[in-house]
Structures are given as structure tokens and as C-alpha cells.
Amino acid sequence: KPYELVGILKAGESYTLIEEAAPDGYAYAEEINFTVSKDGSIDRVIMEDKPTHISISKTDITTDQELPGAHITIKDKNGNVVDEWTSTDKPHEIVGKLVAGESYTMTEVGAPGGYGYAEDITFTVSKDGSIDTVVMEDKPTHVTISKVDLTTSAELPGAQLTIKDKDGNVVEEWTSTDKPHEIVGKLIAGETYSPTEVTAANGYRVAES
């Protein structure tokens, strides 16, 4: 219900209404100046609070496009999870949930296939009701494979190689050249793989996996 002040304020005097603590999930309203009527009529003062609003983007660092498939959590200062979701092709909106002026930590607990894990991001919710935008970027996984001569350490062309995952499935195959082989945005962060030499270059023996 509205708060009533009867017989307390002085007619013709000006006062300032200030919100010193906002309800959880709401931003702080601006101060309101008002003057008490001299004719005894009821003065109505309305102070409005906006819900807090956080827009969180999970993007590919190379394209700045939204990156689906990342599992993300938001934790408060006490380490409690207050929100979690899997990213899509649109930003994630958190409205009327986080506390104005409080700091939170965004953590990527599961990266999309072919991408590394981003570092945690700490952000503070605005008190003025503006939309806070938080962007977390993922880099593609990047593995460099060199096939070299043991005695000279020079790149060795002509060897046929494969990469197998933990289940023995071939996920990459190529013939070595005079430059290292680059695998970008394909292998899964945190997973273990085995490079295998199928056929050695002329004059060389097959290396161990």
C-alpha cells in the first residue's frame, strides 16, 4: 500500500524522496523533488523502479557472432549459482533477478566443440536500471602438429598421419609437408587425442603414436 504522511510535512515546503535500498531484482530510482500543497489537498508522489536487466553474449572471438552450445553459470559473491543456461544464437537475458550494485561471476563450465574455455568474467549490476551488457568470447581450439627429422628437427614431408580420439575414431588425416599441420576449431578442449603415423616418409621408419 502507499505510504501516508499526515500532519508531518510543512505546507509550501519542498522535500526530496530518496531510495536508499532497492528490492532485490530492481534498480534504484532517481531522487524525486516535490512541494507540499498549501491548500490541504492530497499530494501524490510516485517513485518507479526498473527491474535489473543483464544481457549476456557468448561469442566467437574471430567473428563476434553468438556462439551456441556453451554451458554457462552465474554465481553470486558467496559462490551460489543464481542462473545457468546453454548459449544459443541470441544473447541470454536476465531480467528482475540479480541485485543492483552486487557483483557476480560468469563461468563457462562447458565449451562448445572446437572451442576453448573462456576465463571467468566478474561484473557489477548497475543501480540506475540501465541494461548491462556482458560479452564472453571463446577462441577456437588450435593445435599445431610438426613431423620432423629426429636428427635435424626440420619438418619432414611425405609422411601420412592421422589423429584419433579416445574411442579410436579418426578425426583428422593429412600428408606432412615442409610446414607444421594446423588444426583449428575442430578438436575438443580437454579431450585426449593420439597422432599416428600410418606411412613414413621415404628413408624413414614409422614413429610411435
Each residue's pLDDT tens digit, 52-90: 999 999 999 999 999 999 999 999 999 999 999 999 999
75, 82 Cβ separation under 8 angstroms: yes
Cβ–Cβ under 8 Å, residues 171 and 165: yes
Residue 193 banded pLDDT, cuts 50, 70, 90? very high
Task: Note the pLDDT of residue 97.
Answer: 97
Helix (H) or strand (E) holding 137: strand 131-138
Mean pLDDT of the residues in the chain: 96
What is the C-alpha separation between 97 and 78, in angstroms, rounded?
Answer: 16
Residues 6 or more apart whose Cβ sits within 8 Å of residue 107: 72, 73, 74, 75, 120
Average pLDDT over residues 179-203: 95
**Cα distance between residue 58 and residue 87, in whole Å:** 7
pLDDT at position 115 is 97
Q: What is the pLDDT of residue 42?
A: 95
- What are the φ and ψ backbone dihedral angles of 181, each rounded to 5 degrees? -90, 130
Give me the residues paired with residue 122 across strands: 105
Of the pLDDT bands very low, low, confident and very high (cuts 50, 70, 90), residue 166 is very high
Across 11-35, average pLDDT: 97
Band (36; pLDDT cuts 50, 70, 90):
very high
Closest CA to 185 of 129, 133, 141, 131: 141
Q: Quick one: pLDDT band at residue 118, thresholds 50, 70, 90?
A: very high
Condensed to tens digits (0 to 9), the pLDDT of residues 93-105 reads 999 999 999 999 9
Residue entry with cell 578438436:
187
